[in-house]
Amino acid sequence: MTDDDTTQIPEPDQPPEPEQRRMTRPRDDRVFAGVCKGLGRYFNVDPVLFRVAAVALIFFGGAGLLLYIAAVLLIPNEGEERPESRRRRDRALAVIGVVLLVVAAGSIFSHGVFHAGWAFGPFVFIGLAALGVWWLVSGERPRGDARDVLRSVVRGIGVLIICTALALGGAWLAGAGGGTAAAIAVIAAGAILAGAALEGYGRWLVLPALSLALPVAFVSAANIDLHGGAGDKQYVPASAAQVRDSYRVGAGRLVVDLRDAQLPPGDRPLKLRVGVGEADLIVPDNVCVSTSAKVGMGAVDSFERSNGGVDVDWVDQPPAAAGNPRIVLDAHVGVGRVLISHFRSEDFGPGYRKFYRPLPQPGDEVNSGCEVTHAR
């Protein structure tokens, strides 16, 4: 038997080495950075479950967003090998994310879920809104690593600032008496947008143009008049002679308390104008109120009756009872409410808002100075 005659005894079949499973963020079919899809693939679970959980966690003090960012830093993209220095940096950022999560958790447990949610909510909301805005104007879905997503957020915030400035500027111009100029600006913006669309680059202009047009149209529809300044104004005339024909506030609360005015019998016209806010008229029991009120968006609360919504047009013109004075009220509020009552909210204690006052008792909140009072 020679060496050549020796037969090779085949080795028994070795079980194949199990393929090492590695969690990665797939590049296809991802919504943002592919974290949920990667988790779903790794755990063999529908990624929708992770997406729902992530969105739900966002409202728990923003924990979902922080977790997502940490996951983006920790889980590499599919087919991506990160250099050691990059991995170290990402790990450091992830640690910061975890610390933030711990702070969030501490806040939740010490102040309650809703307090924490309110504290983080605006930042989460602004971040998501910025991402959505950038997506809308550029057509680029937020994808890539954390730096790319952050870049999209920053650009989105820039667009948001521009759109907010356009919206506030247009609304202010329309409300401050420049309605015609604001409308012409809107038409010009529409024309520029249409022209740009013909040239193939109109997408960027859609959001800024709408940001200008919609507030101007809103202010026009609500008939908001910002003349009269901003803030709360209270008038408590001590005699009939001190009662003015009209009162006005641009934005804020206007209170006209006529309980000490000792109005003589007969009609007394009165105009109340509020752009955005509340117009309160308080009258004594013996004064009848004839009301014609228009509210663009909001409500009219007249004694025991109320009506709310958009384009509210309230007319209630009862005659005064014999010997009683009558206020002939002409009230316009753009956005807010008209409130006619025998009481002031402050009568119920410091800081007590009318909204929270106890329900009126039978007989104490009716237009009692009129000939015919409304039944409850």
Partner 1 sequence: MPAKLQLGPLVAGLGVIVLGVLALLDSTNVISLGFGALAPLACAVAGATLLASGLTRSG
Query: Binding of partner 1 at residue 120 (CB under 8 A)?
Result: no
Query: Binding of partner 1 at residue 52 (CB under 8 A)?
Result: no
Query: Binding of partner 1 at residue 200 (CB under 8 A)?
Result: yes
Q: Give CA–CA dist 152/327, Å, rounded.
A: 58
Query: Binding of partner 1 at residue 186 (CB under 8 A)?
Result: yes
- The alpha carbon torsion through 42, 45, 48, 49 (nearest 10 deg) reads -110
Query: Binding of partner 1 at residue 366 (CB under 8 A)?
Result: no
Q: Give CA–CA dist 233/352, Å, rounded.
A: 17
Query: Binding of partner 1 at residue 174 (CB under 8 A)?
Result: yes
As beta bridge partners, residue 230 has 251
Instruction: Please check whether residue 93 is in contact with residue 101, taking contact to mean a CB–CB distance below 8 angstroms.
Output: no
Find the binder of partner 1 among 193, 249, 320, 340 (CB under 8 A).
193
Q: Give CA–CA dist 308/339, Å, rounded.
A: 12
Q: Which of 281, 333, 329, 337 is nearest to 308 (CA)?
A: 337
Find the binder of partner 1 among 213, 276, 279, 283 (CB under 8 A).
213
Find the binder of partner 1 among 45, 52, 187, 240 (CB under 8 A).
187
Find the binder of partner 1 among 93, 101, 128, 196 (CB under 8 A).
196
Strand 266-282, strand 233-235: pairing: unpaired
Query: Binding of partner 1 at residue 333 (CB under 8 A)?
Result: no
Instruction: Please check whether residue 330 is in contact with residue 367, taking contact to mean a CB–CB distance below 8 angstroms.
Output: no
Residue length of the chain: 376
Instruction: Please check whether residue 31 is in contact with residue 52, taking contact to mean a CB–CB distance below 8 angstroms.
Output: no
Query: Binding of partner 1 at residue 206 (CB under 8 A)?
Result: yes
Find the binder of partner 1 among 140, 311, 347, 364 (CB under 8 A).
311
Q: Using CB under 8 A, which of the segments 39-47, 58-66, 153-161, 204-212 binds partner 1?
A: 204-212
Q: Which is nearer to partner 1, 180 or 317 (CB)?
A: 180
Q: Which residues bind partner 1 (CB under 8 A)?
A: 174, 179-180, 182-203, 205-206, 209-210, 213-214, 216-218, 220-222, 296-297, 310-311
